[in-house]
Amino acid sequence: MSNNQMVCKSCPEAAADIDMQDLVAKLEASYADRIGVNLAETYNLPGQAEVERLIDRLLEVIFPGFSSSPRHRESLNAETTVLLVELKEELLSQISRAMRFGCSSGCCGECEWTQRGSAAVKALFAALPDIRALMKFDVQAAYDGDPAAVSLDEIILSYPCIKAITIQRFAHVLYQYGTPLIPRLMTEYAHSATGIDIHPGAKLGRGVFIDHGTGVVIGETAVIGDFVRIYQGVTLGALSFPTDAHGVAIKGCKRHPTVGNHVTIYAGATILGDITIGENCVIGGNVWLTEDLPAGTRIIALPPEQQKKQRSGKPRT
């Protein structure tokens, strides 16, 4: 049975009585509706592993030598060219696949998915220098905002917000061009690695700093200005959302906050609904906010009422 000679004399056939044919038949019946089945013959899906590889290479364009071996100055131009050419092929393959998947009426070979895939790739490539420019603001914002930060390189190497925000910026371009599946795969890769969950639809300004980041949730229609600083556990979410007659959420409407420039949001604050936080506001830890906040306001939550008493009995050992 197992490779390590753990055979029991009294039950050599113990697991052999799994009726494999019956099991396969049951599963096959369950696959018939094709929910959760990715068939090669249909509009098959982009691959998770392939998309993660794309992300790593896109990050390499933004931060050369950080996720790979150090680059050589003299070949940096050449290496970048090679990287981009390879990346173009791979992006076209995965994005075209996603676009074809999104082509719900079947694909005739004459429809627009290849054009739309090419347009999305072109837009992402065109955005790369801009994303690199934005990341310089993000890195500087982390340095300015964290007393524990020692160097810009340390921030790029090890701050989770840099990874999460840069990946979201890639995903946002593809989201704008209507790419199915891939933007969300990208941001979930970042979410898994960092605990920071930013929807591809969110619009982020420059110089955004998210410290620690675990538990941060930024929803699809959130808009975040320049030089905004956000701490762990902050939610920029929806207050509630309209549902149709069947109780299914209606998709698409603006339902998340708009945050002005130079706003600071401390840990655990919950900001819900399509509200506007004016410039230069400071939102304290654990604040609960569902209404607009005028520019320049500092809002704090008074701590909960607390009771202290001296412990009796033996202390915990």
**Interface of this chain with its own copies, residues 251 to 310, rule: CB under 8 A:** 251-253, 255, 262, 264, 267-268, 270, 272, 279-282, 285-288, 293, 296-310
* Size of the residue set binding its own copies (CB under 8 A): 165
CB of 296 to its own copies, least distance (A): 5
Cα 179 from chain centroid (whole Å)? 15
Site for its own copies in 146-205 (CB under 8 A): 146-154, 156-160, 180-181, 184-185, 188, 191-195, 197, 199, 201
Site for its own copies in 112-151 (CB under 8 A): 113-115, 117-119, 121-122, 125-126, 128-129, 132-133, 135-136, 139, 143-151
Does position 105 interact with its own copies (CB under 8 A)? The reply is no
CB of 276 to its own copies, least distance (A): 15
Of residues 158 and 203, the one with the C-beta less far from its own copies = 158
**Count of other CB atoms within 10 angstroms of residue 212:** 18
C-alpha separations of 83 from 48, 68, 124, 145 in Å: 20, 12, 14, 33
Site for its own copies in 32-91 (CB under 8 A): 35-41, 44-45, 47-48, 61-67, 69-73, 76-77, 80-81, 84-85, 88-89
- Residue by residue, DSSP assigns 177-246 as TT--SHHHHHHHHHHHHHS-EE-TT-EE-SS-EESS-TT-EE-TT-EE-TT-EE-TT-EEE-S---B-TT
**How many degrees, rounded to 5, is the angle at CA 9 between CA 5 and CA 10?**
140
The closest of 64, 105, 229, 112 to 161, measured between CA atoms, is 229
Of residues 119 and 258, the one with the C-beta less far from its own copies = 119
